Every structure is written in C-alpha cells, then in structure tokens.
Amino acid sequence: MMSAFNFFGNILTSESGDTTDIFANPSASAISEITIKQFGLCVGAALVIGFLISLVYIFCHRKEGYSQSYVLTMIMLPTIVSLILLLINTTAGALSLAGAFTLVRFRSVPGDPKDIAYIFFAMAAGVACGIGYVGFGVVFFIILAIVMIVLSETNFGGAKINHMTLKITIPENLDYQGVFEPVLAKYTKFSKLRRVKTSNFGTLFELVYSVDISDNIDQKKFIDELRALNGNMTINLVFFRYDDKVYEN
C-alpha cells in the first residue's frame, strides 16, 4: 500500500541535502506531487467510509432515534481529516499529527458516550485514508461495523435495572423525612437521598434521589403514588443518574 503513496516523503530536504523553504519557493512544495488519482483515492475513500459509518449509526440507533446533523457530521468528518493529513504529509511536516487533531475539533453538548465513540470511529477512518492506508481503513471499518451491529442486535451490556435520578418537589411545610420511603421501597431496588435544595425563594424544596428501577415496574403508577404524597407537585424521573451531577460517594 505504501508503494502507491511514495509522495509521503521528506520534502524539507532537497536532493543535495539542503533545507528548502517551501514558502519562499513555491515550486519546491511537494503539493504538486499529489496526483489527481491519489487525491481522489484518499478523499474519495474517506467520503465513502464516512457514509458507510453513518449507515451503521442509523441502523444501530433506528429504535432510539438520532439527529440528522449528527449523521451528516460523520459523513463530513473522515473527508476533512483525510484532506488535512494529506496536506500535512506533503508540506514538509509543517504541522504534526497532533496539530491535525487541534484543527479538526468536534464540539457538542454532553451526550451518549457511544455517540462520541462514533466520532472517533469516523476520525480514525479519515486518518487511515489521509496517510495512504486506504486498505487498512476499509478493513478497520468492516471489522468495527460488524462488531457494532452484532452488539446492537444482541443488546450486549443492556441492564435489566435502570439507574435513574428522581427529583421530587415539595412545599416547605412538608416534613419529607420518612414520607416517600414506603413508595420507594415498593417500586425501586435501591434508593438513597442525595441532595436537598430550596427553590422559589425558599417556599419549595427539591429532593434528589438516586434510584434503581426494574424494567417491569409501572413507572406511571410509581409517579402517581409519589404525587399523592407531595401534593401533586412536580416530579422528574431522569433516565441518567448523573444528568444532574448527583454522584455516588
């Protein structure tokens, strides 16, 4: 594979061994050494692999839903990374590989760690194509895509118990100690009060619990029984325990 990409050489040094200033002498730049075929192979392969990665992501998230912008990002990212690395390797190493990842930065709100892993999946494929290892990039995609599809279809690692955060709003005149414990013991495998805070100028209290709830629990009945105890005020059942930064000790 590397024989097809011999343009990845050290172009800072001329044939006589002297250092060449590629900015002062544009004709000395090895950018001209990149042929249309080589450019098309690297960037085209990255684009195709990015499209295939997006299809894998759509297939694995077809039940839980996904964002169109996220899918389009995974198509664009390998192509962008491959082009940057292609230029880096042909401009005398003016930028290092670390510099490429500094230029290509993916910013998003905190989300599912698996979604972040797909971003690294796309970037790794782009790196492989950008440095000329197109074959390795294709093999890497095939292996990881098969693994992700199999894990998704078998629900590997899926827990039967949901770790959740329960937020209960109560009026200030309600003594909350021991009030909700019977209901929590009935519907949860584990529950612990993590935080109490006031709101609305001290007229309301918010209780934050860490709870473990089985999949077969009727969550509506669970919430209805809690509403009967807190005066039908706001109750939030958050599906990520750490969504509100309530951490275990």
Q: What is the DSSP string of 72-133?
A: HHHHHHHHHHHHHHHHHTTTTTSS-HHHHHHHS-----S--HHHHHHHHHHHHHHHHHHTT-
pLDDT in tens, 198-247: 988 889 999 999 999 887 888 899 999 999 999 899 999 887 644 554 44
Q: How far apart are CA 169 and CA 203, in angstroms?
A: 10
- The predicted pLDDT at position 89 comes to 62
pLDDT in tens, 6-56: 333 333 333 434 433 433 444 444 455 778 888 899 899 999 999 999 999
**Average pLDDT value for residue range 126-131:** 86
Q: How confident is the model at residue 140 (pLDDT cuts 50, 70, 90)?
A: very high
Q: Mean pLDDT across the chain, nearest whole number?
A: 78
- The predicted pLDDT at position 94 comes to 38
Residue 163 CB-density burial (10 A; 0-12 exposed, 13-18 middle, 19+ buried): middle
